[in-house]
Amino acid sequence: MLTTVDILGIRKETIPYMNERNEDNVIVKYEGFHDGGSKSIVDTGTFLIYAPKKTMDGYLKDLVLTSCEDKNKLPYIIFQLKGKKMKTLQSFTVIEIVLSPNDYVIEYIDQVKLTRECILGIQVDEKNEEDYINGWTLGQTFLKAYYTIFDKDNLQVGFVRSRKATHNRNNSHEMKTYVNIQEITERNNSRGKSGKGSISYNGPLGQTGNEK
């Protein structure tokens, strides 16, 4: 399954400052963000998170991992997404999605050396220029931290924090949030095939969702 979302910007924080949320998990402030707005995609057929080259070469250039021990030095990455339009105001809601180093660093065992290795799950997008969307691609590395509901009938995608991926004791960010989407495309993606169906449910890696 592949769909587009609007990422308004990102920011880095050593310890995430989580604004006080209401029951809908809506953030209305838009301060301290970088990268500007960009049309981005959420894609279950892509494994990693791919960032625009200008972002990786600029704002995220210090996102470096030479060993698993470096994970504790990495920042939280906070995405600000354009949410659903507010009925009472002539504006849209803004949603914050938080990724901790545990979310975007991939650990594995080297079967030859029998050592624990780590790699960044966020990489620069090196796709051909004609295929480049100038935005982010949020693949399974992102989706393992957030259960994701693709609702084609209502043109929206919902995110709810996976309890296995909770990064602090504040569970307020586990509430379900929805963002409007402008299209859900059923086509072959350059990094994998999209799914079919009106609504699909994607859980953390290692779990299988059921399409309805």
Three-class SS state of 68 = helix
Confidence band for 105, pLDDT divided at 50, 70 and 90:
very high
Give the residue with greater pLDDT, 174 vs 76: 76
User: Of all residues in the chain, what percent are helix, strand and coil, respectively (each to 5)?
Assistant: 15, 40, 45
Positive or negative torsion for Cα 160, 161, 162, 163: negative
The pLDDT of residue 110: 87
The pLDDT of residue 74: 93
Positive or negative torsion for Cα 150, 11, 120, 146: negative
pLDDT above 60 for 21: no
- Pick one of 2.40.70.10, 3.60.15.10, 3.90.380.10, 3.40.190.10 as the CATH number of 2-202: 2.40.70.10
Nearest alpha carbon to residue 4 among 198, 112, 150: 150
Which helix H or strand E contains 142, and what residues bound it?
helix 140-143
Nearest-angstrom CA–CA distance, 143 and 147 = 6
Look up residue 120 and give its amino acid. L
pTM: 0.66
The residues spanned by each domain of the chain are 2-202
Confidence band for 86, pLDDT divided at 50, 70 and 90:
low
In Å, the largest CA–CA distance within the chain is 60
Could you report the per-residue pLDDT of 155-180, keeping only the tens digit for each? 677 777 876 554 443 433 333 444 44
The residue whose two tokens read 């009938």 is: 153
pLDDT above 90 for 26: no
User: Residues with Cβ < 8 Å from 183, sequence gap 6 or more?
Assistant: 3, 4
First to last CA, the chain: 13
Could you report the per-residue pLDDT of 127-140, keeping only the tens digit for each? 755 555 678 889 99
